[in-house]
Amino acid sequence: MSAPRKPGETPAATAGVAPEASGGAPALPEPIASTEPPPEGEARSRRVGLALALLAPVLWSSNGMFIKIMLMAPLPLAGLRSLIAGAVLLPWVRREHLCADWRYAPLIGSAVIMHWLFIAATRYTTAANAIALQSTSPAWVFLFLSIIAGRVAWRQVPPIGIILCGIAVILSEPSSDTAALGNLLGLLSGVGFAVCSFLIGRMHLPAIGLV
């Protein structure tokens, strides 16, 4: 003896027949969350990426210490650092990564000037001030993009305001003549860094080629 049907239940459903077999809408499968671990290659790439992301600020922060130690003028020191960096990256550079095009001249020029300004700033002021002032580049990029677009992205104004407050604090601190010059050079290096970032976004080269 079969069980009584519930109100609105079709005979096919009570007989254990799938809804699509009785002419109803097809049933959607339940989503199944994947519990499989990522492939070994992908997991290794993530670990390498995380390690490099952690290493980058450590190396960047060590700039000040080594610039203070090296008894060289800012311009030769900038050239020496660039030469060492080029030698380290050379094994990863391929012919297709390189491109001789005059349109890249502004990017190269701004990178050279930014590099020299940062080293000079670190010589004349504290390393912390030089790094902080160079890190104001997002504010200058925001200014460039606002001028080009002809409008302001207001949701980005609060963090830019915090950056400007930090600049005001650094520039208003009591300092000697050389420290004041170093702070100014650090601020200009931030502008140069912003120009580099702005131009890189419009380049069409692999990352290693841009470096």
Nearest to 14 by CA among 28, 1, 27: 1
Residue range 157-210, pLDDT digits in tens: 888 888 888 888 877 776 666 688 888 899 999 999 899 888 887 776 555 455
Lowest mean pLDDT among 12-16, 100-104, 156-160: 12-16
Rounded mean pLDDT of 88-99? 75
Q: Which residue has the higher pLDDT, 16 or 68?
A: 68
Q: Which residue has the higher pLDDT, 124 or 9?
A: 124
DSSP-derived secondary structure for 47-89: HHHHHHHHHHHHHHHTHHHHHHH--S-HHHHHHHHHHHHHHHH
